[in-house]
A and B are shown apart, each in its own frame.
Chain A
Amino acid sequence: MSARLGVHLSVLSLLVLGAGCSTLIVAASTTLGQDTPVYPSYTARRLVEDKLGKPVAVTPLPDGGVVATYRYRARVAEPNAVGRGTVSAELAAMRLDPRIWLLLQPLLIPTATGAAIYAVFDPQYQRVTFGFGPDDDLLYLGTPPAYGPDDDALAAPTIGALRKSCWDGPESGDSAAERRYVECVTTRFAVWGLQ
């Protein structure tokens, strides 16, 4: 009796361990590669290429800089469809009947493992573009900005600040100073479109 229980427990442990491992293997495929690489401005091109390798395309710019495009292995957010299906089947079988789940293990574990191995050998690649200056310092995440007339505007002071800046501290009852104040505030409000 105890020997039989021991065998059952051993089989159960192996299956649980196997199922856990296969789930981990499926999940592990999402940790390979990297997110979109970002480097601080003025990083040397050499450091970028130490991480990303040689560019797949280089376009010289007329100011002496270059735009370089790199290929990198992208991190895949989710396991592939087979991996996801295997994990879903594990959960569904467990909810339905633990015995069915046990029976399915010999099928699911190799499937999950195969899906994970396939994910490792079927990497997803993305491209990222950086712009470097004539000294090979990183200037742009992407390409240089588009041509554009930019009429930088200054922000309007607050109403309180507009009023305060008109107030030159006249004594109470100084009607000339009060008139100057009203003129000043009226003009400033008009300039900022305040009715």
Chain B
Amino acid sequence: MSRCSVAVAIVAIILWVSAAWAGHEDGRVLVLAPPLARADALWMAAARGFFKDEGLSVTVRWVSSGREALQALKESRDKQAGAVAFVVVGEMLALDAWQSTEGEFAVVAPLARDADGYVVVARATVRSPDALRAAGIATQLGSTAAWVLGEYLRAHGMSERDVALKHEPPEAILSWDPAGPDIAAFVVREPYATRALQKNGDAVHRLATAKGYAHGYLVLGASRRYLREHAGVAERLLRALDRGRRHAAEHRDDVIAFARDMFGTEPAVVDADYAATERLLGVDPTVVSDMRNLVHWMKEAGLLGATADPRTLFELGPLRATFPERLAADDAPTTR
């Protein structure tokens, strides 16, 4: 064998080994996600082996804060062990991360949304949206609940300028005195609304939910660099998540059991979230509309730069390659 043949053989072996190694590396995927039933597609994909079926070795690290997940994603650049590939976070944090990384962070797909879980709980005497005019309303400012309130007010011809907003964490509703003069209503996420209704009886009522006004989302996001350097991984992940989504929708008991065994959760708590969750893995016109409204609200709140153009928030290549029928014609959020 000539020297040239040996050199070619060595190069070929090196290339083959490199490709095999890269493939192996691509198979290992770390996802950071919140322990919420809204992420049950992920729960079921992990529990039922759907990721393995796609040739992925997925580790899901459950983190109780989306901010922690995004911080880990930011710090994992160039890391070997513990490099975060994907995160599952709320819609507002996703937009904030997209802005703060100058577009490097991208949303691959919305996983699920929920409208009934965001509730306006008002004292019994407040029977219409108009009765909130000039009244004190408590909510966690800067949160999805605050955005929901903004959309609710706008839908009824008002804005935050027509009420007196007060920043309160959601658990404050449990010590709220509805007969007091300061706060006429709270806007909170479940289970706080149900617990407040149980505690206060007839003194309060459910004035509205976010249904018809806005939705809280969980979205799957990643850095564009990761998506570029690991072509095909997001597509495989989406296929597994879609099987998880369908399984979760059809097997409530499996979702409840997962929450019990994984997080030690009471079935009733998960059941409420399970029922309110709309599993997506797609971009429908409602997503487009909600994102457009959210961008508008965040700009009004000074949370997004006036010139920020969020049309690049989504990186829809993997979704288009996997489920092209799930993309709305106008699939990019724009300012209204």
* Chain A residues within CB distance 8 Å of chain B: 41-42, 61-65, 133-135, 137, 139-140, 143-157, 161-162, 165-166, 168, 186-188, 190-193, 195
Contact = CB atoms under 8 A, between A and B. Distances in A.
Residue of B66, B263, B269, B305 with most partner-chain A CB within 10 A:
B263
A153 B142 CA distance: 5
Give the interface size class of chain B.
Answer: 35 or more
A148 B160 contact: no
Interface of B: 28, 34-37, 43, 46-47, 57-67, 81-82, 89-90, 92-93, 96, 117, 140-146, 150, 159-161, 164-167, 170, 189-191, 216, 257-259, 261-265, 269-270, 273, 300-303, 305-306
Given A134-B57, A145-B35, A188-B301, A151 B170 contact: yes
B305 A145 contact: no
Contacts of A188: 300-302
B61 A192 contact: no
B66 A150 contact: yes
Given A139-B61, A150-B64, A151-B144, A187 B300 contact: yes
B142 A193 contact: no
Given A187-B161, A190-B161, A153 B146 contact: yes
B93 A191 contact: no
A148 B144 contact: no
Contacts of A151: 90, 140, 143-145, 170, 189, 216
Contact of A145 (B63, B159, B160, B165): B63
A195 B34 CA distance: 35
Contacts of B59: 65, 133-135, 137, 139
Contacts of B265: 146-147
Contacts of B61: 133, 139-140
B193 to A, nearest CB: 11
Given A62-B47, A162-B302, A191 B160 contact: yes
Given A62-B258, A150-B64, A145 B96 contact: no
A144 B60 CA distance: 11
Report, nearest first, the 3 A-B pairs whose CB atoms are least far apart: A153-B143, A193-B165, A42-B82
Contacts of B37: 147
